[in-house]
Amino acid sequence: MAPQGKRGWLLFGPYLVATILLITSACSLLTGCKQDSPENQAKPAFSVTGLLQTNLNDLSIFYPRVKTPIPLEWPADHYAHPKYRSEWWYFTGHMSPESSRTSTSLSKQQNLSKPPILGFQFTLFRQRALPPITQKTIHNAWQTPQIYMGHLAITHHQAQRHRAAQRFSREGPGLAGVSDNQRYLHVLDWQIQPTPNGWWPVRISARDQKQQIGINLQLFPLKPVVLQGNLGFSQKSNHPENASMYYSYTRLKAWGSMYWQNQSTTVKGLAWFDHEWSSSSLGANQVGWSWFALQLDNYHELMLYQIRNKQGEISWSDAAMIDESGSRLPLKVSDITIDTLQHWTSSKTGRRYPSQWRITIPRYAIDLDIMPTINDQEMRLALHYWEGAVTLSGSHKGQGYVELTGY
């Protein structure tokens, strides 16, 4: 979703002072910053629950809320919604080297049984803070309420390594956000660059010298947009205002180059794109979630997530099954069983994550075993979470990404 997920948990707080304290602990807001993966960092700069749990009444005078489905327009709604509190653009993918004799074209006959070499995650997050507005500052570019963050991670399946980096910046002047002519979204030099007036194909590019990783990829949808939840209205708890607008492109053709050890490799593969915005957050008793984005070898996709409460129980779930044409199939949460088969404990943070699952959906003859390509795909950045490439076996083969927060 990654659920508000992908990623409402990245809320820096409703006040600019709190935002500045968090971000200036890592870098200067005046120039933006690069911050690489602190491999030995035992504690994150902030927590999921500390950032997400919000009194909805406190938001009412500051931000609009998603209360019902909002009609969407393209390509305008691919860009930022700055009045809302939080937003993210989320890409993941599985890539393999492309030889000079192969084509970048992908079809439903693509063989997903062969594991790709590289997995990637690239996400831009936007958070609206609340700076003090006076007549003197209202035209000051440095008083922008928008804070941006980027996350980049690459998993090298053969090398059994995962590397991650991040960027922070204020929106202005010219440091992050949407360019004046809407030619790209960015955090410093990390960019989402759409095709003018149409968005697709879109180019994503990011590179980090210290971690020696990077991407320069173009993406184009093989299926139409999927409106998650109820026409894009994606509820996160029993309270109707704990919700977001959320849509996905569940199967994208991807091609370009990726960098590992600063060596460039020409690649092609499949990707997934989520875009979500909201002003509300987790319910007061919710602490995290497990989110799955799975691409099956029968040209179907499965998105599902489970949000947990403080007692470790599932307090809210949602799911979508996408068929060959890109249409949603009838599916209820009660149709799905998710069993956790194994766990993995991070030696860096001590956090214990699920590390193998069995998902069954008898209605569609689905019985999947889901395994990480490597166990350690923990994102040890300003916020600690697990975001990793997985492979599918059982009734179907395939690939996907899983996100685990609040563990």
Give the residue carrying structure tokens 């956790």: 340
The answer to whether the beta carbons of residues 214 and 206 sit under 8 Å apart is: yes
Task: Identify which has the larger pLDDT, 40 or 386.
Answer: 386
25 token code pair? 């602990």
Beta bridge partners of 191: 186, 205
pLDDT in tens, 76-92: 999 999 998 889 999 99
Percent of the chain beyond pLDDT 70?
A: 78
pLDDT in tens, 112-151: 656 679 999 999 999 888 755 555 555 677 778 899 999 9
pLDDT in tens, 66-76: 889 999 999 99
pLDDT in tens, 19-37: 433 444 344 444 456 654 4
Give the residue carrying structure tokens 């849509």: 247
pLDDT above 80: residue 53: no
pLDDT in tens, 184-215: 999 999 999 999 888 999 999 999 999 999 99
The answer to whether the beta carbons of residues 268 and 217 sit under 8 Å apart is: no
The answer to whether the beta carbons of residues 402 and 291 sit under 8 Å apart is: yes
Cβ neighbours of residue 395 under 8 Å, at least 6 residues apart?
A: 365, 366, 367, 368
Three-class SS of residue 299? coil
pLDDT above 70: residue 105: no
**CATH architecture for residues 3-404:** Beta Barrel (2.40)
What is the per-residue pLDDT for 287?
A: 86
pLDDT in tens, 262-304: 899 999 999 999 999 988 767 778 888 999 999 999 999 999 9
Three-class SS of residue 131? coil
**Quick one: DSSP state of residue 52?**
H
Confidence class for position 11, pLDDT limits 50, 70, 90: very low
Confidence class for position 56, pLDDT limits 50, 70, 90: low
Confidence class for position 49, pLDDT limits 50, 70, 90: low
User: Mean pLDDT for the chain?
Assistant: 84
The answer to whether the beta carbons of residues 192 and 198 sit under 8 Å apart is: no
Domain map (residue ranges) of the chain: 3-404
